[in-house]
């Protein structure tokens, strides 16, 4: 009786491993989101997985769930207080400021990034403690065209994947001129409601976050709450109207959502969210907005900026919900099946030549017999098998077998690369 060996260790709770073939879909999603960004002049940036804890408490906001409940914060042996990054914007802005990219004279600085982020949350489908995002930031310019550009690029990315059933929610959060007036009116309304102690504390620190409370008991009481759109100053109204007109002119459909505030304190003016109704309660697949004051919050100069982050995990779930298969490039086109030691040496050389010529090729390893090697070839998803035995080699040929049709024909060794490339084309 044999027992299957299982490792002593498992992935930590709320995390996941990405393995083939599923990992190919994640790569395809990342590439589809990145492609429009590269075409629009965004350069790639990569930041550390952890940062000074102050970067997030100042930038993202002390009162946010992300900082107060979900951040993985720790102290190093040297006494540094660090946190695993819970989101990307603050890190990317910190990196741009540290490298003085804003002083190079070409604003906005346009950057895109991809990576893992960490939040201590109650794990459920579509909400993990480790998750993957692709994000984009345009730093150092206040222009409605930039806000519209980023929304259009995200829309383009999702449509290129074949997603159709997503919606774009849009709102304006005002600026430092009109937001304080609204904040006071909202606080006056909220103080009269029957709310728990923690929510009451939030009213005093950041009352807009109460509007984002998902609990039914809170939402029912918010009926009749003052709306930010009624308090926007003329400049914010005009700015928001231009963003709406630019999106409309590009044929990008959106819905005005006056309650949309997003979960981070740094947002100003334009804020937006991509939602997919096929995902249940975790319907947001991505979102972002303008954050004109964040640079000053973290000790930098005034740099009005806008950006977004799209969840790779959530996007994959959205594709599944719509029954859309992401276009994944074939991992293997040709599979070598050597019969004997000499054939193994020869086909290893042939497979190496095919790879150098840009053809994805693999080989049966470990001295497998014909039946087991052909099974491996079929499992690999290859289009062709190269089968070689002693008699073939003596004649200077290998058998090229089309795994779709089953047709097989001898091809001279020196003509393999050319023949395979022609057949694949």
Handedness of CA 124, 328, 275, 66 (dihedral sign): positive
Domain that holds residue 374: 334-424
Distance CA 236, CA 217 (A): 32
Shared domain for 338 and 295, answered yes or no, is: no
Residue 89 marked ligand-binding: yes
Residue 158 marked ligand-binding: no
Which CATH number covers residue 142?
3.30.930.10
Is pLDDT above 80 for 301?
yes
Residue 266 marked ligand-binding: yes
Domain contains 92: yes
Shared domain for 272 and 419, answered yes or no, is: no
Mean pLDDT throughout 199-210? 84
Burial of 343 (0-12, 13-18, 19+ CB in 10 A): buried
Select from 104, 176, 112, 115 the least CA-distant residue to 140. 104
Provide the pairing of β-strand 284-290 with 268-276.
antiparallel
Q: How much is the mean pLDDT over the chain?
A: 91
Domain contains 259: yes
Shared domain for 166 and 280, answered yes or no, is: yes
3 state SS of 194? coil
Distance CA 121, CA 281 (A): 15
Which CATH number covers residue 405?
3.40.50.800
Count of Cβ atoms closer than 10 Å to residue 300 Cβ? 16
Shared domain for 248 and 307, answered yes or no, is: yes
Model confidence pLDDT, tens digit, residues 157-183:
999 999 999 999 999 999 988 888 988
Residue 297 or 239, more confident: 239
Domain contains 12: no
Which of 322, 348, 373 is at the close of a domain? 322
Residue 213 has what pLDDT?
A: 80
Shared domain for 305 and 170, answered yes or no, is: yes
Give, in order, the Cα–Cα distances in Å from 422 to each of 2, 11, 63, 201, 278: 48, 45, 62, 69, 43
Is pLDDT above 60 for 1?
no
Shared domain for 317 and 252, answered yes or no, is: yes
Residue 199 or 96, more confident: 96
Residue 262 marked ligand-binding: yes
Contact criterion met (CB below 8 Å) for 134 and 114: yes
Distance CA 188, CA 182 (A): 10
Contact criterion met (CB below 8 Å) for 135 and 95: no
Domain count, the chain: 2
Is pLDDT above 70 for 398?
yes
Count of Cβ atoms closer than 10 Å to residue 60 Cβ? 24
Domain contains 11: no
Shared domain for 294 and 344, answered yes or no, is: no
Domain contains 211: no
Residue 58 marked ligand-binding: no
First to last CA, the chain: 50
Give, in order, the Cα–Cα distances in Å from 104 to each of 83, 140, 186, 264, 305: 30, 11, 42, 29, 16
Q: Which of 55-64, 65-74, 209-218, 416-425 has the highest mean pLDDT?
A: 416-425
DSSP assignment, residue 298? T
Is pLDDT above 60 for 2?
no
Domain contains 80: yes
Could you tell me the two tokens for 25? 């879909």
The structure tokens 């319907």 sit at: 283
Instruction: List the Cα angle 139/140/142 in 5-degree steps.
Output: 105
Model confidence pLDDT, tens digit, residues 363-387:
999 988 999 999 999 999 899 999 9
Residue 32 has what pLDDT?
A: 96
Give, in order, the Cα–Cα distances in Å from 50 to each of 120, 202, 359: 14, 27, 39
Residue 87 marked ligand-binding: yes
Model confidence pLDDT, tens digit, residues 80-125:
999 999 999 999 999 999 999 999 888 999 999 999 999 998 877 7
Domain contains 6: no
Which of 293, 322, 351 is at the close of a domain? 322
Which of 301, 322, 343 is at the close of a domain? 322
Residue 280 or 301, more confident: 301
The structure tokens 């009162």 sit at: 63
Is pLDDT above 60 for 330?
yes
Model confidence pLDDT, tens digit, residues 122-149:
877 778 899 999 999 999 999 999 999 9
Residue 105 has what pLDDT?
A: 82
Domain contains 121: yes
Shared domain for 249 and 389, answered yes or no, is: no
Shared domain for 274 and 162, answered yes or no, is: yes
Shared domain for 314 and 357, answered yes or no, is: no
Shared domain for 310 and 349, answered yes or no, is: no
Shared domain for 302 and 385, answered yes or no, is: no
Q: What is 231-284 written as a DSSP string?
A: T--HHHHHHHHHHHHHHHHTT---EE-TT---S-TT-EEEEEEEEEGGGTT--E
Distance CA 254, CA 212 (A): 19
Cα of 152 vs its chain's centroid, Å: 16
């Amino acid at each position: 009786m044999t027992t299957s060996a299982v490792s002593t260790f498992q992935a930590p709770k709320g995390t996941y491993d990405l393995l083939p073939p599923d990992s190919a879909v994640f790569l395809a999603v990342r590439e589809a989101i990145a492609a429009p960004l590269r075409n629009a002049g965004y350069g790639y940036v990569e930041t550390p997985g952890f940062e000074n804890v102050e970067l997030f408490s100042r930038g993202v906001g002390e009162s946010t769930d992300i900082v107060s409940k979900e951040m993985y914060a720790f102290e190093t042996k040297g006494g540094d207080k660090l946190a695993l990054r819970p989101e990307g914007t603050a890190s990317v802005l910190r990196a741009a400021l540290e490298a003085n990219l804003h002083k190079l004279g070409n604003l906005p600085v346009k950057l895109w990034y991809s990576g893992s982020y960490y939040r201590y949350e109650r794990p459920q489908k579509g909400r993990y403690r480790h998750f993957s995002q692709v994000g984009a930031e345009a730093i150092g310019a206040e222009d409605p065209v930039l806000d519209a550009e980023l929304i259009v690029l995200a829309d383009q990315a999702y449509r290129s994947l074949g997603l159709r059933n997503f919606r774009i929610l849009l709102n304006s959060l005002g600026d430092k001129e009109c937001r304080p007036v609204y904040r006071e009116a909202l606080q006056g309304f909220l103080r009269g409601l029957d709310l728990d102690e923690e929510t009451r504390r939030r009213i005093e620190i950041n009352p807009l976050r109460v509007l984002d409370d998902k609990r039914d008991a809170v939402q029912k009481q918010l009926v009749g709450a003052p709306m930010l759109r009624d308090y926007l100053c003329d400049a914010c109204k005009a700015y928001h109207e231009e963003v709406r007109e630019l999106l409309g002119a590009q044929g990008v459909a959106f819905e005005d959502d006056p309650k949309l505030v997003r979960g981070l304190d740094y947002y100003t003016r334009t804020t937006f969210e991509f939602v997919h109704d096929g995902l249940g309660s975790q319907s947001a697949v991505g979102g972002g907005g303008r954050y004109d004051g964040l640079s000053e919050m973290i000790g930098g100069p005034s740099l009005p900026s806008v950006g977004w982050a799209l969840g790779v995990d959530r996007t994959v779930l959205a594709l599944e919900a719509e029954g859309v298969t992401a276009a994944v490039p074939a991992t293997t086109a040709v599979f070598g099946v050597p019969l004997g030691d000499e054939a193994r040496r020869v086909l290893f050389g042939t497979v190496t030549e095919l790879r150098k010529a840009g053809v994805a090729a693999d080989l049966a390893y470990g001295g497998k017999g014909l039946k087991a090697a052909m099974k491996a070839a079929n499992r690999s998803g290859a289009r062709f098998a190269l089968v070689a035995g002693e008699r073939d080699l003596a004649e200077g040929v290998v058998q090229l077998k089309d795994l779709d049709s089953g047709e097989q024909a001898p091809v001279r060794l020196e003509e393999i690369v050319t023949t395979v490339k022609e057949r694949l084309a």
